[in-house]
């Protein structure tokens, strides 16, 4: 994952999420009690648990699982392994998941989880023991009809397989629908691995089409982040004929003025240490900060939150930003970019491809009936374009930016469902 270090600025993602919510909810005539209810998490779990390391030592790790809302259905959200994980980050990510699921019409609420650790410094055995113990700790919250985890930064299909197996051993029978993002041979879905990155490019392509840019070869793209999201965004854009100028990860950025051969980049990372870009030979090395300020048409931040702030928003030269990451742009940066005429396809729309195909996987798991990749991709495109249409209509109706329009759309759906269900008891 690419990291534009913002630690010194202490930007709290939960405060960002709440400020975005406050901007959007101001356009809706909701009872104050409903406004207050949707602004805070439903429940939070914090756990400290021991893990035996390979050398025999026992280390204590901290983990979280947060349910923001369950009005529309069971909560859904990824699990993140990173040293940066804290409760406010998990709260923010869970809140964004609520709006994301509502926006694309999925019968889910939002959740998120995380463990404070450095997965890249741990062995496979240590990661398995950590994952199984964490799964046991959060088992009081997760279930195939209550809360369904998925992969996020620092986790992968193998992580999900361990969680599925741990939960299944606890209940005494196999429960494939307890997680999504699993390997295909234990009930995963075709098309799930590349779904988030593919969805980023589906939204990018739609935005460009509506703006009259119909020739991909004339459009240059810079992608920050070359993890799961950035890799497959770059791959799909490259396959469609877009010129991918630059990609980056935690080791730095790589730029080629004539366009990168993304297949070659992927082949390099497939065999490099931790699948990092470090040392890629067929491009010029640049910093992550330089990548964000490149002369390009489209910028796709696909790494961490708070990458574009008031300190660097004026340096952005792209006319379109497509947010593959969660919360990569702060509200102050939104205002600067909007004043410059930069369009932003917000995270809750642009990166909703992952949770959409996770929903498809969940449905397939519950029914034990599986689709081919063509059907998955067809349905993914249908869901995202329909959501894009609805956001565009709200943008015009309220005369707001796309982020606010997306959140207006999502918040209204959750608030309407809350009012219809009523307040128990």
Would you place residue 4 in the very low, low, confident or very high pLDDT band (cuts 50, 70, 90)?
A: very low
Q: How far apart are CA 335 and CA 78, in angstroms?
A: 29
Give me 237's structure tokens: 């854009």
295 pLDDT above the threshold of 80: yes
Would you place residue 9 in the very low, low, confident or very high pLDDT band (cuts 50, 70, 90)?
A: low
Domains of the chain: 43-186 (3.40.50.10860), 195-350 (3.40.50.720)
Q: How far apart are CA 379 and CA 229, in angstroms?
A: 19
pLDDT in tens, 89-144: 999 999 999 999 999 999 999 999 999 999 999 999 999 999 999 999 999 999 99
CA-to-CA dists, residue 362 to 79, 174, 196, 223, 359, angstroms: 16, 14, 16, 30, 5
Beta bridge partners of 344: 321
DSSP state of 311: T
* Residues 207 and 320: beta-carbon distance below 8 Å: yes
Would you place residue 5 in the very low, low, confident or very high pLDDT band (cuts 50, 70, 90)?
A: very low
DSSP SS3 for 271? helix
- The percent of residues in the chain predicted with pLDDT above 70, rounded, is 98
What is the pLDDT, as a whole number, of residue 226?
96
Average pLDDT score over the chain: 96
Within 268-417, strands assigned E span 284-286, 298-301, 320-322, 343-345
What string of DSSP letters covers 3-30? ----GGGT--HHHHHHHHHHHHHTTS--
What is the pLDDT, as a whole number, of residue 307?
96
Question: Pairing between strand 243-249 and 252-255?
Answer: antiparallel
Number of C-beta neighbours around residue 286 at 10 A: 17
What would the mean pLDDT of 17-29 be, rounded to a whole number? 98
DSSP SS3 for 353? helix
pTM: 0.95
What would the mean pLDDT of 381-391 be, rounded to a whole number? 98
What would the mean pLDDT of 153-158 be, rounded to a whole number? 96
pLDDT in tens, 215-261: 999 999 999 999 999 999 999 999 999 999 999 999 999 999 999 99
| Of 22-31, 87-96, 270-279, 336-345, minimum mean pLDDT range | 270-279
* Residues 280 and 251: beta-carbon distance below 8 Å: no
What would the mean pLDDT of 336-343 be, rounded to a whole number? 97
Q: Which of 372, 396, 376 is CA-nearest to residue 384? A: 376
Residue 120, C-beta contacts closer than 8 angstroms, at least 6 positions apart = 154, 274
Q: Which residues are catalytic?
A: 112
What is the pLDDT, as a whole number, of residue 313?
98
CA-to-CA dists, residue 229 to 197, 249, 287, 326, 405, angstroms: 4, 11, 19, 11, 24
Number of C-beta neighbours around residue 348 at 10 A: 31
What is the pLDDT, as a whole number, of residue 10?
77
Q: Which of 303, 222, 229, 299 is CA-nearest to residue 6? A: 303
Question: What are residue 160's phi and psi, to 5 degrees?
Answer: -65, -35
Classify burial at 7, counting beta carbons within 10 Å of its beta carbon; exposed 0-12, middle 13-18, buried 19 or more.
exposed
Would you place residue 274 in the very low, low, confident or very high pLDDT band (cuts 50, 70, 90)?
A: confident
What is the pLDDT, as a whole number, of residue 188?
97
Beta bridge partners of 51: 59
What would the mean pLDDT of 398-419 be, rounded to a whole number? 98
Higher pLDDT pick, 298 / 7: 298
What would the mean pLDDT of 392-419 be, rounded to a whole number? 97
What would the mean pLDDT of 385-395 be, rounded to a whole number? 98
What is the pLDDT, as a whole number, of residue 2?
40
Would you place residue 6 in the very low, low, confident or very high pLDDT band (cuts 50, 70, 90)?
A: very low
* Residues 300 and 347: beta-carbon distance below 8 Å: no
What is the pLDDT, as a whole number, of residue 273?
84
Q: How far apart are CA 148 and CA 78, in angstroms?
A: 8
């Amino acid at each position: 994952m690419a990291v534009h270090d913002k630690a010194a600025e202490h930007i709290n993602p939960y405060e960002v999420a709440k400020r975005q919510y406050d901007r959007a909810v101001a356009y809706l005539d909701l009872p104050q009690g409903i406004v207050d209810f949707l602004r805070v998490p439903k429940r939070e779990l914090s756990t400290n648990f021991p893990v035996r390391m390979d050398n025999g030592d026992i280390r204590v790790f901290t983990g979280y699982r947060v349910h923001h809302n369950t009005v529309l259905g069971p909560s859904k959200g990824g699990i993140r392994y990173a040293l940066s994980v804290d409760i406010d980050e998990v709260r923010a990510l869970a809140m964004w998941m609520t709006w994301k699921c509502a926006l694309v019409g999925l019968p889910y609420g939002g959740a998120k989880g995380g463990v404070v650790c450095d997965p890249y410094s741990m062995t496979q055995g240590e990661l398995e023991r950590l994952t199984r113990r964490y799964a046991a700790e959060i088992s009081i919250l997760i279930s195939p009809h209550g809360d369904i985890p998925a992969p996020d930064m620092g986790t992968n299909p193998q992580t999900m397989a361990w969680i599925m197996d741990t939960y299944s051993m606890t209940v005494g029978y196999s429960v494939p629908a307890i997680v999504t993002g699993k390997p295909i041979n234990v009930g995963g879905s075709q098309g799930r691995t590349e779904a988030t990155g593919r969805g980023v490019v589906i939204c990018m392509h739609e935005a460009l089409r509506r703006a009259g840019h119909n020739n991909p070869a004339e459009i240059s793209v810079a992608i920050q982040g070359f993890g799961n999201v950035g890799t497959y965004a770059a791959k799909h854009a490259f396959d469609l004929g877009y010129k991918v100028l630059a990609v980056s990860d935690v080791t730095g950025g790589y730029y080629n003025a004539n366009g990168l051969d993304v297949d070659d980049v992927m082949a390099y990372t497939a065999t490099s240490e931790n699948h990092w870009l470090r040392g890629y030979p067929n491009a010029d090395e640049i910093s992550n900060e330089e990548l964000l300020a490149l002369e390009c048409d489209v910028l796709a931040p696909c790494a961490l939150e708070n990458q574009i702030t008031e300190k660097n928003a004026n340096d952005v030269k792209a006319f379109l930003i497509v947010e593959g990451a969660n919360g990569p742009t702060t509200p102050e940066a939104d205002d600067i970019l909007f004043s410059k005429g930069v369009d932003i396809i917000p995270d809750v729309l642009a990166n909703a491809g992952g949770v959409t195909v996770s929903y498809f996987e969940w449905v397939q798991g519950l029914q034990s009936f599986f689709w081919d990749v063509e059907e998955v991709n067809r349905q993914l495109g249908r869901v995202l374009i329909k959501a894009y249409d609805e956001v565009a209509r709200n943008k015009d109706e309220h005369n707001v930016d796309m982020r606010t329009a997306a959140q207006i759309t999502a918040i209204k759906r959750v608030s309407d469902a809350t009012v219809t269900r009523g307040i128990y008891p």
